[in-house]
Structure formats: structure tokens, C-alpha cells
Amino acid sequence: MDTNKYYEKLKSIPYPDRPKKPVFPCAAATSKQLRSYADEVDVFTKARAEWLEKHKIFTEKQSEIYAEFKAELLKELGIENNPKAELLYSIAWHKGHSGGLCDIWSEACDLVDLIK
């Protein structure tokens, strides 16, 4: 299984820039500084809402790629219709996801004989 195509797809999704939260002025701030801070908070709140929407789209695209990977993995192992396929994938994901898709594939290959 060529996991590189999935890595390329994942890398092609740009992660949205997260807005920076404004810093509260010191306790001895003037009213002008407080007004400026309040304006910055308004700008931040709008930017954060936009970022959350972009982040949601990012995670949805990422999830689609992972689902595509999972479907191909199960098909290549010949277990797409096996009732234990989800359990196998779950275990392979748990044991291998920190090492990447190759490790998930490797773990699944090691476990597949248990359910065939």
C-alpha cells in the first residue's frame, strides 16, 4: 500500500492561521488603553469565529483522507466485509497512529491473520 499519496493529500491542506488573543493591559491602564484593548478583543472575536470555521473545514478534509486510507487498507487486506474489521482498524490505529500511516498499515498487517 502506498501511504505517500495520503501524506501528500494531508500536506496539501493548509492549516488556517490562528488569531492571537490580545494581551490585557496592566492594572494601572488608562481608559484609552482599556478602550484600545476592548477594540482588539472585538477584532479577535470576529477573527476567531472565522478561524473556527476554517479549522472545521480543515478537520473535515483531514477526516475524509483518513476515511479513504482506512477503506483502502481494509480492501487491500481483504477484510472490508469482515465484522471484526472495525475492531482491527481501531487497534491498529491505537498502536500505530503516533508513527504515521505506515505504522497503522504495519500494525493492521500484523493483526489481520487473527480475524481471517
pLDDT band for position 83 (cuts 50, 70, 90): very high
**For residue 43, what are the domain limits?**
4-114
- What is the three-class DSSP state of 40? helix
Measured between alpha carbons, how far is residue 5 from residues 74, 78, 116 in Å?
Answer: 17, 20, 27
pLDDT at 77: 97
Report the sign of the C-alpha dihedral through residues 24, 26, 27, 28, in that order. Answer: negative
pLDDT band for position 26 (cuts 50, 70, 90): confident
Q: Total domain count for the chain?
A: 1
Going through the chain in order, the beta strands assigned E by DSSP cover none
Q: If you compute the radius of gyration of the chain from its CA atoms, what whole number of angstroms results?
A: 22
